[in-house]
Structure 1
Amino acid sequence: MLRLLTRRSLNSGLGYRALSVKAIDIGTRHTPSHRTFFEQDGKAISPFHDIPLYVDQQDPAVVNMVVEVPRWSNAKIEIATGEKYNPLKQDVKKGKLRFVHNCFPYNGYIWNYGALPQTWEDPTETNSDTQCKGDNDPIDVCEIGSEIGYSGQVKQVKLLGVLALVDEGETDWKVLAIDIKDPMAKQLNDVQDVEKHFPGLVKATRHWFRIYKVPDDKPENKFAFDGECKNKAYATSIVQETHDAWKRLIEGEKPMGKLALENASVESSPYKSAEPVQVSSIHKPMPKDDQVAKADPTWHYIP
């Protein structure tokens, strides 16, 4: 059982109030049919639309994060934005499950990697700074704390900075954040603190994103701002911008395209379910011929 923390009011004196969210695995991991659904109070919820972005509405720098990929693992797990109630699944490309390669000296993902709920990088709008449109996904986040997370975990994290990756002509923001319960959380309040206390991590993050697709015969990724990691204030504004875009999407002001917008809790949304939905009514039967895939153990040395 996961515990989401929200604050009723900074002035209420009541502190944090816990919300219970359960992650439910269906099928075998690293197979095409495996899914991780989310449930609250016995009903299905969407990690894209129902988990609140802000832990405290009066502190926009503390947000909820859905962990998709644990640190040091390779499977490219992500929120299935096109499936009903948006479970987690492993990405598939050309009929094969996707794993990121080990690019020396990085063993898989080098942080807990995931997404911020209730955010959306709008593919119809051009960001004035990057001059690129969004990639049609929730905003990505790299959580740099010491705990190794797990797929389906919900963490409360503090925003620290953001990189502007430009992936195939689309803006793909990469937010840096730290779990608020991490022992270093009090000392990390902005990107310069990351540079001070975790020297080399921002540089390694930028390098990882630059080269991780090269083993698949793709060119190196590029960045806006010459690769500069923008500060906490800028990151907070980008998160708010993508949250506002999500609001327009979930309230029906934007075309849904291939996105699944069913949700259990957004009162202003025309896609809100009239009745509670059970996870058992959503997931598909597991094929008997599902094969478990494995990551390629090869190390790639990229100059």
Structure 2
Amino acid sequence: MRAVLLRCPPGCLATAFGSFSASRNKLAAQSAAAAGPRLLYSRNTMHYQTEARGRPHSPDYRIYFKTPEGKYISPFHDISLIAENEQENDLPTKKPKKNESEVLFNMVVEVPRWSNAKMEIATKEPLNPIKQDVKKGKLRYVANIFPHKGYIWNYGALPQTWEDPNHTDEETKCCGDNDPIDVCEIGTQVCFPGQVIQVKVLGILAMIDEGEMDWKVIAINAKDPDAKNLNSIEDVRKSRPGHLEATVDWFRKYKVPDGKPENQFGFNGQFKDQDFAVEIIKSTHEHWRALVQKQTNSHGIECKNISCNESPSKCSAEEARDVVASAPAPCAGSHPVSPAVDKWHFV
């Protein structure tokens, strides 16, 4: 059994052996202190708040994360991979489930379903805020590939994971893409950028993007009405005909309107099951541990955090606050978006 790194409040890095469920039982419950009054340009999301800086649809727009106590954090490094137990009205929730497949993971939502702006965790900026990706000086928007509008799921990442460019996948012979592992959340709710939700992992797709390994975890919000009926990738196939095929088609073609070739896939484009997905997540979690402890080439990744005691990049709450203070001031309204973003592409 491989070692699995978990974040244990108040911020130590601990290595635990055994199943994720056993490790989860050892996690202390995260603080349930109520957040203060909502601030302008702030949103509350589970245990975390977000604070927007700059103006949406502009290169300087950033979404920073903070705790209910107002401490700024990195969503990449300071949010636990494993979703900890919640408490409501000071009453403990149900005991953690024993089956490893039922362990829940935190997901940081970057892009809401049906939207086009390519929002992502800024891995190379201090505190890793969410920003809109820029290429050749222009903000990136994904094309609408008929019959789809923008992203066809809530899209985001699992914190405390890293697809290591130094690591070659044994099956596909491709190296990681230098990002947290991606998640397609297939629930019914349309989320918002910066929302942190608890998800149940169902399976995984091995996408190869310009020669790099770019895993796509398929998951569902644990609070979704359909979550109790979807426990495997086969459940998705049976209850949502065409959804998995549409997912492969979307990832295959979404860069074609930009003049790029179609993406390729490992395993002949077949989805791997839940157990396989959890093993990939464990592996990327271990790679993240080496990254945050500076035991490997970081490839420019910014590891500033406030909670990882064994990390050389740990900083004080005051230093984190200074990072946010140096960002552009919040602005009302947003920049206009080109009508070309709504164009339909037939490829």
1:169–1:92 Cα change, 3 Å: same
State the AA in 2 paired with 1:46.
Answer: S
Matched, 1:96 2:138: yes
- 2:49 corresponds in structure 1 to 22
State the AA in 2 paired with 1:293.
Answer: V
- 2:239 corresponds in structure 1 to 197
After TM superposition, the score normalised by the length of structure 2 is 0.79
Q: Distance in 1 between matches of 2:241 and 2:196?
A: 27
State the AA in 2 paired with 1:259.
Answer: I
Matched, 1:281 2:293: no
- 1:293 corresponds in structure 2 to 337
> How far has the Cα of 1:98 moved from its partner?
0.3
- 1:49 corresponds in structure 2 to 77
Matched, 1:69 2:111: yes
Correspondence list, 1:129-278, <5 A: 129-276=171-318, 277-278=320-321
State the AA in 1 paired with 2:342.
Answer: P
> How far has the Cα of 1:9 moved from its partner?
8.6
- 1:112 corresponds in structure 2 to 154
Matched, 1:31 2:73: no
Q: Which blocks of at least 5 consecutive residues in structure 2 are unaligned?
A: 1-8, 10-20, 33-45, 85-95
For structure 1, which segment, 37-46 or 90-99, has the greater mean C-alpha deviation from structure 2 after superposition?
37-46
Percent identity among equivalent residues? Answer: 50
The alignment of Structure 1 onto Structure 2 pairs a total of residues equal to 294
1:282–1:38 Cα change, 3 Å: farther
Question: What secondary structure, in the 3-state scheme, does the structure 1 residue paired with 2:342 have?
Answer: coil
> How far has the Cα of 1:249 moved from its partner?
0.5
1:258-280 residue CA offsets vs partner (Å, 9 max, x unmatched): 11100010111111004442164
1:269–1:72 Cα change, 3 Å: same
After TM superposition, the score normalised by the length of structure 1 is 0.91
Q: Distance in 2 between matches of 1:130 and 1:225?
A: 8
Matched, 1:78 2:78: no
Q: Which blocks of at least 5 consecutive residues in structure 1 are unaligned?
A: 1-5
Give the alignment's Cα RMSD to 1 decimal. 2.4
Question: What secondary structure, in the 3-state scheme, does the structure 1 residue paired with 2:228 have?
Answer: helix
Q: Distance in 1 between matches of 2:104 and 2:31?
A: 15
- 2:15 corresponds in structure 1 to none
Q: Distance in 1 between matches of 2:106 and 2:24?
A: 17
> How far has the Cα of 1:298 moved from its partner?
1.2
Residues 107 and 197, structure 2, Cα contact 8 Å, conserved in 1: yes
Question: What secondary structure, in the 3-state scheme, does the structure 2 residue paired with 1:110 have?
Answer: coil
- 1:3 corresponds in structure 2 to none
> How far has the Cα of 1:55 moved from its partner?
1.2
Q: Distance in 2 between matches of 1:49 and 1:24?
A: 17
